[in-house]
Structure 1
Amino acid sequence: MESPMPVLANKTLQEFFKVFLIHKGSTQLQLPTSFTKFFNEIAPCKVTLVDQDGKCLDVKLEKIEGRLVFKNGWQQFTQEKNLEEGDFLVFQYDGMSTFNVKIFSKTGCKKVAAPPNSEKIVPIVNLEEDSNQHSNKNQSNGACPSKGAR
């Protein structure tokens, strides 16, 4: 039987952030200890994570050794979102059972999701051909004088 979902008394959304560390957060993610006060000692069994694109995933919220952690479903979330070491996650809790999650890469910019079933495209560059085209272009339009022309 699932525990009743808590409701925030002041109805304001509560937020916390976590820096994703593979060795600590790939299979489960611990919520900040001070954040557990918003659950009034009652941890919901299932919560929904909603990413910045509106995609939802159910994750089990468990109490392990007195700490709340995202557990079953968290690993799937990390894989689907291609979380990498140092990604910055901002969680916004609605007071019921939903966490909106904003994901930023370690560059500080919002992380853009890769299209589903897409493979990483690695461009093939022929350096010799590219170098010849570049030097021919520079010679033809006079954009960069050669070293000998000074």
Structure 2
Amino acid sequence: MEVPYRFFRIITPLQNHNSRLMLPGSFVNDWRHQLDDTIQITAYDGIIVTIQLERDNGRIYFADGWEQFFDHHNLQDAHVLVFEYNGNSIFNMTIFDHYGLEITYDSDVPEEHNVSHTNNPAFEITLTPHQNSHREICISGQFSRYHLPRGLRSVQIHDSLHHDWELATNLRPNSLIRRMTIG
């Protein structure tokens, strides 16, 4: 079998993919002999992340380092991750949203609205028409973990057009806020 070899995984709430991700059995059967104890994944942003593999009863999981990768790329339920194995324990990954559109998190926000001009903790989201009719905002688990108190029921945001919005928060089972809804 020649590399590259591709497989996909779908993020589902029941499988707790944010802490570890199981590689498909057929991939493990074909490539287990080539996989080191750590692998490298490169996503759209070009950042190379090293992730520890966990072996358990013939299964192989992305483990230590996966949660940080998951949070950094703001992976959500129903996202599809396409992995391309290039040999030597190196993977490229492409992320697709629940509409099947590739996610790149590019920003075309003008410099004067760039969130880096504030002293407060901030993150930037560019809404597009395919994102739930703009009624739901998904935020980074890392931002939630470090900047939002547990049990928070609502927040007020201020957009680039100087509108204020009251948003209800939806807590994940681990009490992290990952989604906010308008209305």
> Is 1:50 the equivalent of 2:42?
yes
Q: How far does residue 51 in structure 1 lie from its aligned partner after superposition?
A: 0.2
Higher helix share: 1
Aligned counterpart, 1:91: 83
Runs of at least 5 residues in structure 1 that lack an aligned partner in the other structure: 1-9, 127-150
Counterpart mapping for 1:56-75 below 5 A: 56-75=48-67
User: What SS does the aligned partner of 1:99 have?
Assistant: strand
Q: Is the 8 A contact 2:44 2:104 kept in 1?
A: no
Runs of at least 5 residues in structure 2 that lack an aligned partner in the other structure: 108-115, 126-156, 166-183
User: Structure 2 length normalisation: TM-score?
Assistant: 0.57
Q: Compute the RMSD of aligned alpha carbons.
A: 2.4
2:123 to 119, 123, 134: 119
Q: Is the 8 A contact 1:43 1:62 kept in 2?
A: no
Counterpart mapping for 1:95-114 below 5 A: 95-113=87-105
- Which structure has the higher relative contact order (CA within 8 Å, separation 6+)? 1
User: Structure 1 pair 40/59, CA: closer, same or farther in 2 (3 Å)?
Assistant: closer
> Is 1:18 the equivalent of 2:22?
no
Q: How far does residue 118 in structure 1 lie from its aligned partner after superposition?
A: 4.9
Question: For the pair shown, which has the larger CA radius of gyration, 1 or 2?
Answer: 1
User: Structure 1 length normalisation: TM-score?
Assistant: 0.68
Tell me how far apart the structure 2 counterparts of residues 22 and 49 of structure 1 sit (CA, whole Å). Answer: 22
Tell me how far apart the structure 2 counterparts of residues 99 and 118 of structure 1 sit (CA, whole Å). Answer: 31
Higher strand share: 2
User: Structure 1 pair 42/99, CA: closer, same or farther in 2 (3 Å)?
Assistant: closer
Counterpart amino acid of 2:74? Answer: N
* Aligned sequence identity (%): 27
Tell me how far apart the structure 2 counterparts of residues 39 and 101 of structure 1 sit (CA, whole Å). Answer: 17
Q: Is the 8 A contact 2:84 2:93 kept in 1?
A: yes
Q: How far does residue 44 in structure 1 lie from its aligned partner after superposition?
A: 1.4
Q: Is the 8 A contact 2:34 2:88 kept in 1?
A: no
Q: How many correspondences in the alignment?
A: 117
2:70 to 60, 65, 78: 78
Aligned counterpart, 2:170: none
